[in-house]
Amino acid sequence: MNKFELFLSRIDTIGIFSVLIFFLIKRPKTEGAFFWFIGFVFSMCTFNFVAEVYEVLSIYFKFLGDNLFLYHLACILYVITLSKFFQKIYTSKISKIIDIVFIIPFSILSIINFIYFKRTFTIYSLVSIWVVTKCMFYYSHEFSNPNKHNILHSRLFWIVSGLFLYFSVSFFVFITYDFFTFNSTNYPFQNFPPIWLIQNCILALSCCFFIKAISCKE
């Protein structure tokens, strides 16, 4: 791995920690939906920090244990914080139905992942569909009910846009990651270029939207 690839492999961590640091510097009032968004950011920072430490320790002590438990646990924390975030934005019968339809397969996949520790990002793909759908409902509500405030000055608009960008693009990374990286000679794409770098770059770009949201005065 050259220096540029090494940078791309860490750009997601740099991006999400930049959001947290910017938040600590600006120290805006955290309440309502914004409070749960910061909880989501904190969850991502915690996961990235623990994952980095785990990787260093695994190299230092020369063991090859996987970190799937961290990914599965992080996914649950993301869903909890984001569900609270969207609940604070709006509530409707349709949105509640979407949540119910989502939570059933999500719970089943979570149980399977914790029991068998399968190497699968299917659950992240499911979460991506759910988040993108919730974002679309936000856009639909905002543009069908115009008000006096400038949406470009809205903190929620930039947060939702960052979430929409990240999860809509990352869905294709999550759904194909296992196929392209499966360690078997039966898969002709096992040496496919690191597709996860795309996800890292998209998260870093989304973090720019998050920083913009924090800078908004609300």
Domain that holds residue 184: 3-215
Where does the pLDDT of residue 167 fall: very low under 50, low under 70, confident under 90, or very high at 90 and above?
very high
Q: Report, as an integer, the average pLDDT of 182-204.
A: 64
Residue 187: pLDDT over 50: no
pLDDT in tens, 60-110: 766 656 677 788 889 999 999 999 999 998 878 888 899 999 999 999 888
Residue 201: pLDDT over 80: yes
163 or 117: which leads in pLDDT: 163
Burial of 26 (C-beta count, 10 Å sphere; 0-12/13-18/19+): exposed
Q: Report, as an integer, the average pLDDT of 12-41.
A: 92
Residue 197: pLDDT over 50: yes
Residue 3: pLDDT over 80: no
Where does the pLDDT of residue 214 fall: very low under 50, low under 70, confident under 90, or very high at 90 and above?
very high
Q: What is the pLDDT of residue 184?
A: 46
The mean of the pLDDT values for the chain is 83
Give me the DSSP letters along the chain: --HHHHHHHHHHHHHHHHHHHHHHHH-----THHHHHHHHHHHHHHHHHHHHHHHHHHHHTT-----HHHHHHHHHHHHHHHHHHHHHH---HHHHHHHHHHHHHHHHHHHHHHHH-----HHHHHHHHHHHHHHHHHHHHHHHS--SS-GGG-HHHHHHHHHHHHHHHHHHHHHHHHHHH---TT-TTTT---THHHHHHHHHHHHHHHHHHHHS--
Q: What's the domain count of the chain? A: 1
Q: Would you say 72 and 113 are in contact if contact means Cβ atoms under 8 Å apart?
A: yes
Residue 186: pLDDT over 80: no
pTM, entire model: 0.87
